[in-house]
Amino acid sequence: KLSKRLEAVAKFVPTGAVMADIGSDHAYLPCYLIHKGTASYAIAGEVVKGPYESAVGQVQKESLTEKITVRLADGLAAIEEADHVDTVTIAGMGGPLIVSILEKHPEKLQGVTRLILQPNIHAKVIREWALAHQWAILDEEILEEDDKIYEILVLQRGQMELSTAEILFGPKLSLRKSPAFTKKWLREKDNWQRVLQSIEGAEQTPEIEEKRAELTALIRLVEGV
């Protein structure tokens, strides 16, 4: 059975998609989507030998070798032109790692019309990357599983405008304000307040002052939303 987190990612894969799941580990997501009939073909990419072998084994075990190709490759290098991939999923990594994967082989995204990205932390850098590279947010999701809160960003090509607050909180998520959203940002605010208190008595260096201003601004942003 798929985790609640990966099931939420799966929901955003369009019917008939030719997908590439980058950092696929056991290839659970592509296996699920092929079985379900959502994806018509899938690439599972992995850069580490162990997880790559797990993916190969899983695809064989589920008798899906006709529909899923597993490749040992760094990020988007797993995608070949002849695959005609239209949907890319990258899940279970930090936002900065996801962005570095997207930036390393930009030409691999030429035929791609949808990106479904699930950062474990720092979704903000993905929104910044999207803004800078003409991708627009089609939808967003936030969910809690095993006391962790995950965000999912669904991107399609297009222009968007985002405020500073929207870059941090997500334009759709901050409108919906689901319980997981509120929980996440109250938690973050608590952390920032704790850091602020810990530097209260600290020396007045420019670095400390800058940190203090930054934290105060963040706390104000959370209070604003």
Residue 61 beta carbon to ligand SAM: minimum distance, rounded to whole angstroms: 17
Measured CA distances, 97 to 122, 124, 148, 212 (Å): 10, 12, 19, 27
Interaction mask 116-145, ligand SAM, x per CB under 6 A = ------------------------------
- Note whether 19 and 13 are within 8 A (CB): yes
Residues touching ligand SAM, count (CB under 6 A): 16
Residue 91 C-beta: closest distance to ligand SAM, Å = 3
State yes or no: residue 148 binds ligand SAM (CB under 6 A).
no
Q: What is the DSSP letter of 133?
A: T
Q: At closest approach, how far in Å is the CB of 75 from ligand SAM? A: 4
* Residue-wise burial string across 102-124, b where 16 or more C-beta atoms lie within 10 A, e elsewhere: beeeeebbeebebbbbbbbebbb
Based on the shown chain and the rule CB under 6 A, indicate whether residue 30 belongs to the binding site for ligand SAM: no
Pairing of strands 39-46, 17-22: parallel
Please count the other Cβ atoms lying within 10 Å of the Cβ belonging to residue 97.
18
Q: Which of 53, 57, 60, 74 binds ligand SAM (CB under 6 A)?
A: 74
22 binds ligand SAM (CB under 6 A): yes
Beta strands 114-119 and 135-145 are unpaired
| Of residues 75 and 170, the one with the C-beta less far from ligand SAM | 75
Gap between the Cα atoms of 126 and 132, Å rounded: 10
Q: Using the rule CB under 6 A, which residue among 30, 45, 95, 119 binds ligand SAM?
A: 45
Residues that bind ligand SAM (CB under 6 A): 6, 22-25, 45-48, 51, 74-75, 91-93, 101
